[in-house]
Amino acid sequence: MAQSEQNTGFLTPQRAVKSGRMKEALVEKKLLVTPGEELGDASEVKAGKGAYLAPHRNTVYASLNGLASFVPPPLDSPDQRHTVEVSGHKAYGAVPEPGSVVIARVTKVMARTASADIMCVGPKSVREKFTGIIRQQDVRATEIDKVDMHSSFRPALTYLLAKLSLGDARAYYLSTAKNELGVVSAESTAGATMVPVSWTEMQCPLTGQTEQRKVAKVGS
């Protein structure tokens, strides 16, 4: 079959199986799939991201539209099957998962809580923001009843790393009660990005003023 210059070497599972080049196409990431296409038998491959295992049929199918590829198994695992993944061009936006570390932007600071918009879950950004709440007792690990919310966070373009938990009906709960969690980037009243000085203070490079925040210990 003649292939135009633009579509060099992309195969669909039908053509690949016919010409016996299924495995080769998967390894080279040239297999184009749409949702519902068969990617392999459950005894030979595992379902990774973008693929799923049908419960009754023992076959792995694609669930996204894109290119399928093989991921080799880690050398020491007992299960030596390859993992099949499908990567589309638009991955659906991340959904907050309890226990994950998120990047959130502080929107409101009140007497005992602060509310923040969750922008990224892990390394992936969300399409539309989710709301989270940081309670007074979740700001830090020690002396939790003596926390002053206004000395820990300010709404001005403040980004923080926090750990997510399910929360109540209204919002997710965020916790910064660890050394490596807290404010990572904040803007001072003068408008410059502040530099962290200690775990409670950040300094503005323009005016030299220090402002109080619960700072995250990032990096080695």
**Binding pattern to another protein, positions 188-217, x when CB under 8 A?**
------------------------------
Examine residue 7 and tell whether it contacts another protein (CB under 8 A).
yes
Looking from the CA of 218 toward its CB, the CA atoms found within 13 Å total 15
Task: Give the max Cα distance, the chain.
Answer: 74
Residue 74 C-beta: closest distance to another protein, Å: 23
Q: Which stretch binds another protein (CB under 8 A): 5-13, 107-115, 196-204, 210-218?
A: 5-13
Least separation in angstroms between residue 166's CB and another protein is: 8
116 in contact with another protein (CB under 8 A): no
Is residue 37 near another protein by the rule CB under 8 A?
A: yes
Pairwise CA distance, residues 197 & 217, whole Å? 10
Q: Which is nearer to another protein, 12 or 107 (CB)?
A: 12
For another protein, which residue of 130, 139, 149, 162 counts as binding (CB under 8 A)? 130
Element at 7 (helix H, strand E): none
Nearer of residues 126 and 184 to another protein, judged by Cβ: 126
Taking CB under 8 A as the criterion, the residue among 67, 84, 121, 174 binding another protein is 67
40 binds another protein (CB under 8 A): no
Q: Which of residues 76-105 bind another protein (CB under 8 A)?
A: 88-93, 95-96
Give the C-alpha distances (Å, rounded to integers) separating 34 from 9, 19, 88, 112.
17, 19, 10, 49
End-to-end CA distance of the chain: 56
63 binds another protein (CB under 8 A): yes
User: What pairing do the DSSP bridges indicate for beta strands 195-196 and 182-185?
Assistant: unpaired
Q: Are 110 and 116 spatial neighbours (Cβ–Cβ below 8 Å)?
A: no
Number of H helices, E strands in the chain: 3, 16
Under rule CB under 8 A, residue 2 binds another protein: no
Q: Does 159 engage in binding with another protein (CB under 8 A)?
A: no
Q: In whole angstroms, give the CA distance from residue 175 to residue 213.
A: 15
Distances (CA, A) of 179 to 162, 165, 200, 214: 11, 18, 11, 9
* Candidate segments 127-135, 146-154, 182-190, 204-212, binder of another protein by CB under 8 A: 127-135
Residue 131 engages another protein in binding (rule: CB under 8 A) = yes
